Structure formats: structure tokens, C-alpha cells
Amino acid sequence: MVSVVLQVAAILGLPFLVSGSVAYLAWNDLQRPWLYFVVATGVLYVVYGLTFVFLGEANAGFWAVARGDAGQAADSGFTGLVLLKLFAKPLLGFSVMALPILAGIYTIFRRSE
């Protein structure tokens, strides 16, 4: 059960972690770094949700694992990381889209010299 909770936390926290990392690295180059962080996090969560809707074919599998269905866990190759395996495609799609989106938002908030 703890493993499932940690996997859900990792899945839900990925956009926050990515936008926070980019905001930290570009903090001195931004006009309003806190506003950049809030806007970037909000945009990434919207993109994240859309990615899961359009690429996430495993929504039924998620609920089966969350309910503790042992058959779903036994059918997958990862016995300990079932949720990360089920959502590998949307996570990869989001990871590919996140940095160009953050770069676009960065150009809006960049400090002009």
C-alpha cells in the first residue's frame, strides 16, 4: 500500500517538480520568478491532465490497482511499480512536451536587458 501511495505522489507531483526545477535554475533571469512558477505549474498541470486523457489508456487499470486487484498487478511485468508501468506512455508524452512549453513561458517572463 505504501508503494502505491508513493507512486501516486510521484505521478501527481511531476509537473510541480519540473516547473520548480526550471524556475530555480532560471530564477535570476526572470522578471517575476514567483509568477513564472505559478503560471508554469498551472499550465503544466493542464497539459498533464490532457496528456492523461488522450494518451492514458490505463485508467481502468489504475482503479483496479487502487482497489487492490491482485490480478492486475500479477499481469504486469513490474510487481512493485504497477502504476508507473500503467502510465508510462502519458508520463513519457508529458516529459517530451514539458520543456518546450516551459521554454515558451520563459521567453514571456525573461528579464529584458
CA distance 91 to 1: 22
CA distance 40 to 18: 9
* pLDDT tens digits, one per residue of 78-97: 566 777 777 888 888 899 99
**What's the pLDDT score for residue 81?**
74
* pLDDT tens digits, one per residue of 46-84: 999 888 888 766 555 555 655 665 555 555 555 667 777
pTM above 0.85, yes or no: no
3-state secondary structure of 3: helix
Q: 64 or 27: whose pLDDT is higher?
A: 27
Cell of 53: 486523457
Q: What is the mean pLDDT of residues 1-21?
A: 87
